[in-house]
Structure 1
Amino acid sequence: MAPEDTCYQRIFWREQPTHPLRILKLNTVTYGTASAPYQATRCLNLLAEEESPDFPIAARILKEDCYMDDILSGADTIEEAIEYQRQLKELLGRGCFPIHKWCSNSVEFLEHIPSEDREKHLTLQEYGANEAIKVLGLLWDPTHDMFLIAHQHRPVLAQIERQLWKTNAGWDDIVEEQFQRTCFTMQEALPQLNLIKVPRCITFPDAIGYEIHGFADASTVAYGACIYLRSMFTDGSARLRLISSKSKVAPLHELTIPRMELCAAQLLTRLLDKVIPATQMTFQEVVLWSDNTIVLAWMKKPLDRLQVFVRNRIAEIQKSTNGYKWCDVAYPYVVLSLLRYDQNFSEGTKVTIGSRTLLAATRSPVAGSANHRTVRQQQVSKVFH
């Protein structure tokens, strides 16, 4: 820090409880203050702006592919990946930020990285993965280029506490037998999350076009939305890849099923607003699916004929999805399975809704993965820390 600013970072200090208190001035920026997250991000952005003439690619990566102190980016070839790594290392070096914990799904790329600068992999037998690393709350198996679900007990406990609170149960009260069975069922189902594997690559090198398909669904206890990329090929077949999903628990005040479905459609709309710009891709069509005909009918009504709760959400949906197509799903179980990322639908299953075949079983996964940021095939992915 500048010497004239150190007076604003004073702390009390003593080596032992019996020692007198000393007042110290911190000479470096300390993480833990309210402004620390902003300072860290602003510092990286400023560094990228100042050094962009010398390191244009690394500057773009810092601005677009950085989250706090983690950088996730990709390249089309090994040569490009090596150049990106060199630029990032030199750019961050000018700001006194040594970069390490490199990881990639390319063994050839890692050969150019000293072993002490590579990320240490985790051994996860229960996931069926020999090696994995942590990536922003997920687990990534770079060998097979798959995301794994690192389930946590905290969300489950929060849901249990929520249900107990609704029943006004006391600390020493014995919960109902039905509630106990629900808790045991949830506990037994948790290990099933280890079986879910989501491909990081969402594009294919020989695809001739792409579509976005979003699904919204709800129940009495929760609602959710998911977005898939549909890749189409010259032989008429197509493949689906999960891009993003989000779910929320139902509000404490009970809503009717149509209103819950409306909340799901609103959630899908907001998710689209974030996903489509992030992909930086051109789509031939964006199709949104719901299995609730009441919600679809609300979207066609004049806003002044709707109640306030419905009108506000329909107005947001119509504004954000203008130009997109909303369709009715005749088979609700399809949406539920897609929201759950059912393994039966993850690879090679034919899913037909109406006259549209969303996923054909004639294709096989392509070796060499692609990053989802661009239409063109990206064969090398790196994870920087």
Structure 2
Amino acid sequence: MKLPFHCHEKWRNIVISIRDSGGTVAFHNLVKFVKREARKATDPMYGKDALRNDDRTKPQPKRNAGIASQSSFKPSFSTDMVENTTQNTQSSKPEEKAAEERKEMSQEDKEFMKIVTNSIHKEDGHYVVSLPFRDKDVIMPDNSEQALQRLRGLKKKFTMNPQIHKDYKKFMEDILSKEYAEIVPQDELKDDCLASDLNEENAVSTVKELTSLCSEGSFRLTKWISNSSTVMKSIPPQERAKDVKDLNLDCEDLPSERALGVYWFVQSDTLGFKIKSKLKPDTKRGILSVVSSVYDPLGLMAPFILISKQLLQNLHKEQKDWDEDVDSKIQKIWHQWLKDLSLLENIHIPRCYKPMGFGLVTSCQLHLFADASNVGYGVVGYIRFVNEDEEIHCALVMSKSRVAPLKKTTIPRMELTVPRMELTAATLAVRMSSLILQELQVKVDTTFFWTDSMSVLRCIFNTNARFKTFVANRIAVIRDCSDIDQWRYVSSKENPASRGIELDNEQQIQHWTGGPRFLWRHHKYWPKQYSKQEPQEDDLELKECVHATIMEKDSFLDILINHFSSWTKLRRAVAWIILTIRCLRQSVNKSHSTKKVNFTLNVQVLEDAEKLLVQHCQTQHFSKEQ
């Protein structure tokens, strides 16, 4: 079900506390929590409009019994009900990483919450809150006259130009008929509320308790729909969804319902698609319009949709105009994709991860597969259950796919090669695992990451090599959010992230939605793992190491010192060498100097030799004192 945003952290703490004490979270714990919070603050100010600090896309929960309702109420401030989630991880690393990335409230946000909390009061059965102005003494101007003036101006414009009035009216009727907009009373706001339960009796009780609790804050829960006929019969017909008000629940099938952007086929309790594609021209604008109409937030059909993204990228690469017809080659690919698009409605994926009658789960694992090519990369995640009888069931959780960046660089070391794309896919896998573990209301015992790139595994396993910045940054994310023991090798043939799917091929669809065959078998039959190899010396991602060796050689002065045992002879020998050097320099620079060197051994030269020998000895034995 959905809870006000401010209740998320409180509910998470309660769940963690119950599990740490060895207990199991039951639905009555949630009902008790909702009752307590409703008594404290059943007001619209705690919706996500006031407290939104995270815009991440969340996977929709899949559980056994589904209930959906629409809330209708009359508050003094707008609100949304957001989904309650519990966080279960097998290690603290993903949780800590998510906490670091979460945005905290600013000082102004805290001041806003203080004003809201202190000013809440109830008037005529509705909650009222003061407007959060920075200044306390604010005099609101009377702008009713300006509003009326604008309305009169628009009316005058319609009177003078009937065509504008006609177009305006047609436009409004069009968006209302297509349900892009809805006429809502001025004092009424609406949003969806979703809940699930394993037991029909508990679901019936939940409907009654939620209706009673929300009515205390002037919330009216209506438009109920459930995949259980027992639950639907417990709800008054006038409070049911429009399509089931006059439905005979004993013999007629339940309709489909759009739940948070995903189509829920209530009768079969599956998720799927409804394609309403109109005929569009074979241009970049037309192709983009059709592709954008396919909404797949969970990535249930990501490999199929990736084809259309690659097609659009190629059109952009060719710098096609928005309304320019595409060439015959692209047109052929596009028409084939449109033909396959109609088959998408035939694919239904079970809403529940665990099938009915599966029994007590003894092991729950999360498996994420990553792969990349020169045109794109992707990640797909599966949940794997094992029951008391050693029976195994796997289900698709979500997937993500990305096209390869189009921008090229002139710097070779910055090019996004296939190995780097593989590493980028592995980074996406650990980030997606953190999201899934945070959102799933299922305790996951172990998480495994699979890749068919030995280059990626070598980089992850290595602890000594110094990688280039691009690789080092991604390895840091992977090591922060996972352990090296969680990483496994899988062949490209068995990697579901490495292959596309044909919508008319039932075997490929089962392989995609259920995961590779080896996941359905005992772990001793999983792919053979290779030893944790180090990166090869010629790996382009390794930083080049330059080795410098310093070899000490005896200078000519050391040779002379060791040769002569007499100070006088040593000094004279060095003096003659000094004279020889000076004479050679003069002969080289004779054109630039007219001064002649006196090639005789005098006192000055002997003193210069003595000074040179003393300096050499000081350098050899007292270099640190210089």
Aligned residue in 2 for 1:73: 195
Residue pair 1:290, 1:329 contacting (<8 A) in 2 also: yes
Whether 1:191 and 2:342 are equivalent positions in the alignment is yes
Per the alignment, in what secondary structure is the counterpart of residue 252 of structure 1? coil
1:102-161 deviations in Å (ceiling 9; x for gaps):
121111011111222222459xxxxxx972110111111121111113457233776644
Aligned residue in 1 for 2:458: 297
Aligned residue in 2 for 1:242: 396
1:7-46 matches, cutoff 5 A: 7=140, 12-13=147-148, 14=151, 17=154
Quick one: which amino acid aligns to residue 311 of structure 1? A
With normalisation by structure 1, the TM-score equals 0.68
Quick one: structure 1 residues 134 and 317, their matched pair in 2 at CA, closer, same or farther if it must change by over 3 Å?
Answer: same
Q: How many angstroms does 1:181 deviate by? A: 2.0
Determine which of 227, 234, 244 is the counterpart of 1:105: 227
Deviates more, 1:212-221 or 1:146-155: 146-155
- In the alignment, the residues of structure 2 paired with residue 319 and residue 3 of structure 1 have an alpha-carbon distance, to the nearest angstrom, of 43
Whether 1:140 and 2:258 are equivalent positions in the alignment is no
Aligned residue in 2 for 1:180: 331
Residue pair 2:368, 2:380 contacting (<8 A) in 1 also: yes
Q: How many angstroms does 1:97 deviate by? A: 2.2
Per the alignment, in what secondary structure is the counterpart of residue 228 of structure 1? strand
Aligned residue in 1 for 2:418: 257
Aligned residue in 2 for 1:38: none
- In the alignment, the residues of structure 2 paired with residue 87 and residue 288 of structure 1 have an alpha-carbon distance, to the nearest angstrom, of 42
Whether 1:154 and 2:308 are equivalent positions in the alignment is no
Quick one: structure 1 residues 3 and 148, their matched pair in 2 at CA, closer, same or farther if it must change by over 3 Å?
Answer: closer
Aligned residue in 2 for 1:352: 518
- In the alignment, the residues of structure 1 paired with residue 469 and residue 442 of structure 2 have an alpha-carbon distance, to the nearest angstrom, of 36
Aligned residue in 2 for 1:328: 489
Whether 1:210 and 2:364 are equivalent positions in the alignment is yes
Residue pair 2:495, 2:516 contacting (<8 A) in 1 also: no
Quick one: which amino acid aligns to residue 195 of structure 2? S
Quick one: structure 1 residues 85 and 322, their matched pair in 2 at CA, closer, same or farther if it must change by over 3 Å?
Answer: same
Per the alignment, in what secondary structure is the counterpart of residue 221 of structure 2? coil
- In the alignment, the residues of structure 1 paired with residue 392 and residue 242 of structure 2 have an alpha-carbon distance, to the nearest angstrom, of 37
Quick one: structure 1 residues 258 and 9, their matched pair in 2 at CA, closer, same or farther if it must change by over 3 Å?
Answer: farther
Whether 1:169 and 2:293 are equivalent positions in the alignment is no
- In the alignment, the residues of structure 2 paired with residue 8 and residue 303 of structure 1 have an alpha-carbon distance, to the nearest angstrom, of 69
Deviates more, 1:270-279 or 1:11-20: 11-20
Residue pair 2:273, 2:344 contacting (<8 A) in 1 also: yes
Per the alignment, in what secondary structure is the counterpart of residue 305 of structure 1? coil
Aligned residue in 2 for 1:279: 440
Quick one: structure 1 residues 220 and 350, their matched pair in 2 at CA, closer, same or farther if it must change by over 3 Å?
Answer: closer
- In the alignment, the residues of structure 2 paired with residue 120 and residue 303 of structure 1 have an alpha-carbon distance, to the nearest angstrom, of 64
1:76-114 deviations in Å (ceiling 9; x for gaps):
322211222122212222222211121211110111112
Q: How many angstroms does 1:301 deviate by? A: 2.5
Quick one: structure 1 residues 222 and 121, their matched pair in 2 at CA, closer, same or farther if it must change by over 3 Å?
Answer: farther
What do you get for the CA RMSD once the two structures are aligned? 3.5
Question: How many residues align structurally?
Answer: 305
Q: How many angstroms does 1:3 deviate by? A: 9.7
Residue pair 1:285, 1:324 contacting (<8 A) in 2 also: no
Deviates more, 1:215-224 or 1:98-107: 215-224
- Residue identity (%): 28
Aligned residue in 1 for 2:211: 89
Quick one: which amino acid aligns to residue 472 of structure 2? R
Greater relative CO (CA pairs within 8 A, separation 6+) = 1
- In the alignment, the residues of structure 2 paired with residue 268 and residue 356 of structure 1 have an alpha-carbon distance, to the nearest angstrom, of 24
When you count helix as a share of all residues, which structure comes out higher?
2
Per the alignment, in what secondary structure is the counterpart of residue 222 of structure 2? coil
1:278-311 deviations in Å (ceiling 9; x for gaps):
2243333211111111111111234861121111
- In the alignment, the residues of structure 1 paired with residue 515 and residue 378 of structure 2 have an alpha-carbon distance, to the nearest angstrom, of 22
Q: How many angstroms does 1:163 deviate by? A: 2.4
- In the alignment, the residues of structure 2 paired with residue 9 and residue 137 of structure 1 have an alpha-carbon distance, to the nearest angstrom, of 41
Q: Structure 2: which 5+ residue stretches go unaligned?
A: 1-75, 77-127, 132-138, 158-189, 245-252, 278-289, 293-304, 409-415, 502-506, 527-626
Residue pair 1:231, 1:239 contacting (<8 A) in 2 also: yes
- In the alignment, the residues of structure 2 paired with residue 131 and residue 4 of structure 1 have an alpha-carbon distance, to the nearest angstrom, of 43
Quick one: which amino acid aligns to residue 202 of structure 1? Y
With normalisation by structure 2, the TM-score equals 0.44
Determine which of 343, 353, 362 is the counterpart of 2:509: 343
Residue pair 1:226, 1:339 contacting (<8 A) in 2 also: no
- In the alignment, the residues of structure 1 paired with residue 141 and residue 454 of structure 2 have an alpha-carbon distance, to the nearest angstrom, of 60
Q: How many angstroms does 1:325 deviate by? A: 0.8
Q: How many angstroms does 1:240 deviate by? A: 0.5
Quick one: structure 1 residues 357 and 349, their matched pair in 2 at CA, closer, same or farther if it must change by over 3 Å?
Answer: farther
- In the alignment, the residues of structure 2 paired with residue 85 and residue 8 of structure 1 have an alpha-carbon distance, to the nearest angstrom, of 45
When you count strand as a share of all residues, which structure comes out higher?
1
- In the alignment, the residues of structure 1 paired with residue 155 and residue 455 of structure 2 have an alpha-carbon distance, to the nearest angstrom, of 72
Residue pair 2:427, 2:474 contacting (<8 A) in 1 also: yes
Residue pair 2:256, 2:263 contacting (<8 A) in 1 also: yes
Quick one: structure 1 residues 347 and 332, their matched pair in 2 at CA, closer, same or farther if it must change by over 3 Å?
Answer: closer
- In the alignment, the residues of structure 1 paired with residue 437 and residue 130 of structure 2 have an alpha-carbon distance, to the nearest angstrom, of 46
Q: Structure 1: which 5+ residue stretches go unaligned?
A: 21-67, 123-128, 359-385
Deviates more, 1:191-200 or 1:335-344: 335-344
Quick one: which amino acid aligns to residue 154 of structure 2? P
Residue pair 2:359, 2:388 contacting (<8 A) in 1 also: no
Quick one: which amino acid aligns to residue 333 of structure 2? T
Whether 1:116 and 2:267 are equivalent positions in the alignment is no
Quick one: structure 1 residues 96 and 277, their matched pair in 2 at CA, closer, same or farther if it must change by over 3 Å?
Answer: same
Quick one: structure 1 residues 158 and 268, their matched pair in 2 at CA, closer, same or farther if it must change by over 3 Å?
Answer: closer
Per the alignment, in what secondary structure is the counterpart of residue 69 of structure 1? strand
Aligned residue in 2 for 1:27: none
